[in-house]
């Protein structure tokens, strides 16, 4: 990489850090190409991005961003994963770390809040943003469904009473 490519890389990484909400720092030591490809696919499926970056360039990109506190984690072979949905990137990283012992989650940052590996694991156990939205829509629809059920109940009760009387009259007629 020449100097201009490095500058462009740092600028693009800084732009990503300016608009994302969650960054996870990992150590992917010893991953095979197939494992790394699988990891990138899982991250992409979760709506996250996974990038191996030189520590020096990554720390330059972190300067002046809300993720400035990640600099101490940038030692040794590291890789970064980020996403707008904080739970999605944490879930993808933790799930892959469970199945592959070569991949280690070091920590991360949710905005200015630094998280260690246990914090990332705890975050991964929360419901995703899509699940929370679905729950919210369900809660909003529930009162409307209940109101419709309450309004329909008197009509249904009247119909059942009339049906009972008609079957009673038929039973009396058959008995006579």
For residue 108 the two structure tokens come to 């991360």
Return d(Cα 74, Cα 79) in angstroms, integer: 9
Return d(Cα 81, Cα 50) in angstroms, integer: 4
3-state SS of 54-109 is CHHHHHHHHCCCCCHHHHHHCCCCCEEEEECCHHHHHHHHHHHHHHCCCCEEEEEE
Return d(Cα 163, Cα 86) in angstroms, integer: 57
Strand-pair partners of 80:
25, 51
The pLDDT value recorded for residue 152 is 67
The pLDDT value recorded for residue 98 is 92
Q: Is the pLDDT of residue 142 over 80?
A: no
pLDDT tens digits, 42-51:
999 988 999 8
Comparing CA positions, the residue from 54, 50, 112, 57 lying closest to residue 83 is 50
Q: Is the pLDDT of residue 65 over 90?
A: no
Q: What is the dihedral of CA 5, 58, 63, 89, to 10 degrees?
A: 120
pLDDT tens digits, 85-97:
888 899 999 999 9
Q: Is the pLDDT of residue 149 over 90?
A: no
Query: What average pLDDT score do residues 98-109 get?
Result: 90
Query: What average pLDDT score do residues 104-131 get?
Result: 86
For residue 104 the two structure tokens come to 């280690």
Q: Is the pLDDT of residue 25 over 90?
A: yes
């Amino acid at each position: 990489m020449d100097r201009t490519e490095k500058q462009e890389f740092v600028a693009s990484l800084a732009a990503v850090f300016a608009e994302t909400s969650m960054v996870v720092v990992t150590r992917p030591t010893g991953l095979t190409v197939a494992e790394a490809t699988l990891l990138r696919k899982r991250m992409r499926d979760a709506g996250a991005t996974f990038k191996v970056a030189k520590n020096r360039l990554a720390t330059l990109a972190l300067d002046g961003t809300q993720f400035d506190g990640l600099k101490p984690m940038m030692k040794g072979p590291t890789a970064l994963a980020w996403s707008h949905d904080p739970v999605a990137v944490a879930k993808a990283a933790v799930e892959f770390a469970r199945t592959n012992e070569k991949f280690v989650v070091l920590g991360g940052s949710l905005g200015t809040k630094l998280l260690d590996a246990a914090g990332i694991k705890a975050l991964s156990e929360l419901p995703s943003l899509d699940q929370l939205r679905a729950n919210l829509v369900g809660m909003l629809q529930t009162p409307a469904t209940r109101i419709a059920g309450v309004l329909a109940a008197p009509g249904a009760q009247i119909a059942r009473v009339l049906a009972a009387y008609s079957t009673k009259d038929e039973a009396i007629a058959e008995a006579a």
